[in-house]
Amino acid sequence: MFEKKDEFVPTGAAETVVGTSVKLKGTLKSDGDITVDGSVNGEIKTKGTVTVGPNANIIANVHAKNVNIAGTVQGNVVATDRLSVSESGRVYGDISANILSIAAGALFSGKSTMAENVKEPEIELTVEKEEEPVLEEVLESPKK
């Protein structure tokens, strides 16, 4: 009577959704995309994209290929490819990404670093020794 049908996930749709009324405590791991509109306290890891909705409140470290933040994240964020923070986004923690985009109006408090595969140009610094100024005394003879 009831047949199990294969689930179809449209392209671009998140495999895992944490709804607005959901409060999750612990580690959330996935190979697919994750959308958070509720609360997560712990850790989020995926090989896909993490999308933080405008009503989301995350107290967790986030590690993903891509991270899009429109809500609040308290914790460190590592995006192996792209990290974007929209104008309503709030990030309190350190971030690391290969490509970083922070919109005007967004809030970011922490330090940011570029991914390790981005190499800085090699610059050789040379310091020339500066000669010390010579103080000369000038004696004026009294005028007669």
Total-model pTM: 0.71
Cα distance between residue 21 and residue 33, in whole Å: 19
Based on its alpha-carbon atoms, the radius of gyration of the chain, rounded to whole angstroms, reads: 27
Q: Report pLDDT for 19.
A: 87
DSSP states along 89-104: -EEES-EEEEEEEE-T
Q: Give the lowest-confidence range in 15-29, 44-58, 62-76.
A: 15-29
Encode pLDDT of 90-143 as tens digits. Answer: 999 999 999 999 999 999 999 999 866 533 334 344 455 555 555 555 555 555
Question: Would you list the domain boundaries of the chain?
Answer: 18-104
Q: Report pLDDT for 12.
A: 58
Q: Report pLDDT for 16.
A: 86
Mean pLDDT value across residues 51-71: 96
Structure tokens at 40: 């997560």
Cα distance between residue 142 and residue 102, in whole Å: 71
Encode pLDDT of 1-38 as tens digits. Answer: 444 443 333 345 678 888 899 999 999 999 899 999 99
